[in-house]
Chains A and B, each alone.
Chain A
Amino acid sequence: MAALLPTASAGGAVSAEVPVEPPAGMRRRRWIPYALLAPGMLWLAVFFVYPVVQLFMASLWNPAGSIETGYVFDWSWSNYADAWEMFHVQFLRSLWYALITTVICLALGYPLAYAIAIKGGRWKNLMLVGVIAPFFTSYLVRTYSWKAILSDSGPVVDFLKWAHLLGPDGRLLATEFAVIAGLVYNFLPFMVLPLYASLDKLDVRLLEAARDLYHGPVRSFLRVTLPLSLPGVVAGTLLTFIPSAGDYVNANLLGGPNTQMIGSVIQSRFLVVNDYPIASALSVMLMVTILVLVTVYVSTAGTDEVV
């Protein structure tokens, strides 16, 4: 640093002595990047920043108010304590389900992404279409169809009963299994696609080099493939964990009272019970928690070294 400083100041002195006037065309074009940013920034300001500020304000409204009578803003931090008191079970359950979902998605998604990227050959594009194809149908419709598949008189339950893997009164619907299965199904593509993107970039000649340097298939994977696909793992786990933690469709359609997630609670607080302050407090809590978890996770994974 010390060695660099004199050079830097010398450079500064030179440019001060000879002020270089940029040509008129250059000066005129300087605003172009900002102009390109403007629409997106405006969109974010109106549809993200403003609502988030509103949400935060609403979480501090006096809970005595109601939609009919209106709310008073009076820094009611007690809303947070009340929200935690009432719903910490669902809150922690959501994070737990999201974690399990992420782990299962990674376990299923990594081999799939690996197979498509490394062994796919000319079937690569077809296999990728297979991963994306579910998006051609609505998320809600697909989850409803899972309800039919897992229903008490559905084929899966019938088979499990026949195989004596499920008792005569056993059911899948309204269990943790159904909710997590639904989450895994719905968010698997979000795991597979970033993993595919990073594995597809992997130079297979590096694997040859590893083999040449006495590393068998397993060790080559652990020391070369896995570290180099880490950016994909981080992106995939984030894209799976974050939406899973806030999801309410799977819990509502496939779960029961004992598998309720925080997303369902927020949804019903807002739209059924009309308890805006508690619903807002829960939303802010979820947002902040995820933000903290993600920050810790990304800084520990240290992907900046890899990419």
Chain B
Amino acid sequence: MSDQDLRIENVTKTFGGFTAVDDLTLTIPDGSFFALLGASGCGKTTTLRMVAGLEEPTAGRITLGGTDITRTRPYKRPVNTVFQSYALFPHLSVADNVAFGLRRKGVGRKDADRKVAEMLDLVQLGGYGPRRPAQLSGGQQQRVALARALVNSPEVLLLDEPLGALDLKLRRQMQIELKRIQTEVGITFVHVTHDQEEAMTMADTVAVMQAGRIEQLGAPAEMYEFPASAFVANFLGQSNLIPAEVTGHADGDVTVDAHGNRLALPAARCRVTSGSALLGVRPEKLHLCDGLDAVPSGHAAVRGVITDTSFTGVSTQYLVRAPWGSELTVFVPNSGLASPAAPGAEVAVHWLPAHSFLVGS
């Protein structure tokens, strides 16, 4: 943690009777790539706009490098934004768009021209300076918006769903590009998105938001492997969640009863240790075999019948109906080692207990 961290302390924002952000506290370390992930209306954009100064918090404070910027006017903050709609100035050329903030900061014309050219090169738009935004494609406009914000060397760059309007292929390409640029310039990026894959691909730290609060915060892999709640388990990737009752503790393990199946998992993988809970396993951590006899030792297992298979290229997705009626999703990689199972086949679904997790229901 350095002095240039962005801190959001107990910030609340209400619009009329609606609470968009609810007592949010967050520290975004200097130089990190931070993603605010959530469904629309979860308060992530409002949070970003408060950091930008485009909304004023109802309560709480925001500090940047120890300086309170809660009530600082947006044009006086060392923060720049890449807007969702890009908001490029249609009456100015690409170069003038990029130079818009620089000139105002008192950078001389020559210096500004050089910086603009450098920045356009960085976003791979060298030579596009004299064009108008309307003459560019969506992806190119997005790069101009990025260059226009980055050229000012802000302490924090805010990105409001910057890739939302791009098609899938271009989005993937820009994700890698953004990550490269962030590494290159070393500026703190705060990236708002509803795309969990995008957040996990790009960010060092992801904060999952729901109803104006942070559900969980952490490194993408950590959160994916051990989600803090059922919401996160489902929002970040897919999960099989089985209602279960905690029945006891033994040797660092927690035993649960799920629809009559006695299962155990390490206590370290449990967010709750008593009462009703949800036992979760990721679909790619589930394996299929012919019957309970074939289950490797040490694995937890349940019986089931395959109800549906779908081939997706890298893997085959199976739906397996468990004895209690609900369906489990199983991803089996198409490694060519196992022959595919057909719908109607009786199988056993098994997993390593350390791969499962227990969250509150």
Contact = CB atoms under 8 A, between A and B. Distances in A.
B91 interface: yes
Contact of A209 (B76, B89, B91): B89
Interface string A275-304: 000000000000000000000000000000
Contacts of A203: 85, 87
A212 B79 CA distance: 8
A214 B91 contact: no
Contacts of B87: 203, 205-206, 208-209
A306 interface: yes
Interface string B217-255: 000000000000000000000000000000000000000
Interface stretch (B100-108, B298-306, B331-339): B100-108
A216 B73 CA distance: 9
B91 A228 contact: yes
A112 interface: no
B128 interface: no
A210 interface: yes
B81 A209 contact: yes
* Size band of the interface chain B makes with A: 20 to 34
B54 A305 contact: no
B52 interface: yes
Interface residues of A, number: 19
B75 interface: yes
B153 to A, nearest CB: 12
B91 A212 contact: no
Contacts of A210: 89, 100
Nearest to A227: B91
B321 interface: no
A228 B80 CA distance: 23
Interface in B61-104: 73-76, 79-81, 83, 85, 87-91, 100-101, 104
A212 B54 contact: yes
A209 B88 CA distance: 8
B12 to A, nearest CB: 22
B329 interface: no
Interface string A185-217: 000000000000000000101101111111110
Contacts of B148: 213
B152 interface: yes
Contacts of A305: 91
Contacts of A223: 100
A219 B104 CA distance: 9
Given A208-B83, A209-B83, A215 B89 contact: no
A212 B84 CA distance: 14
B89 A206 contact: yes
A235 interface: no
B80 A306 contact: no
B100 A213 contact: yes
A228 B89 CA distance: 9
A213 B73 contact: no
Contacts of B105: 214
Contact of A211 (B74, B85, B90, B91): B74
B72 to A, nearest CB: 12
A212 B80 contact: yes
Contact of A214 (B75, B83, B88): B75
B91 A208 contact: no
Contacts of A211: 53-54, 73-75
A213 B80 contact: yes
A224 interface: yes
Contact of A213 (B85, B90, B101): B101
B335 to A, nearest CB: 49
A224 B87 CA distance: 11
Interface in B137-170: 148-149, 152
B154 to A, nearest CB: 9
11 contacts: A208-B74, A210-B89, A210-B100, A211-B54, A213-B100, A213-B101, A213-B149, A214-B101, A223-B100, A228-B90, A228-B91
Given A208-B83, A211-B74, A305-B91, 7 more contacts: A203-B85, A203-B87, A211-B75, A212-B149, A214-B75, A216-B75, A227-B91
Closest 6 CB pairs of A and B: A213-B101, A209-B87, A214-B104, A211-B74, A205-B87, A214-B75
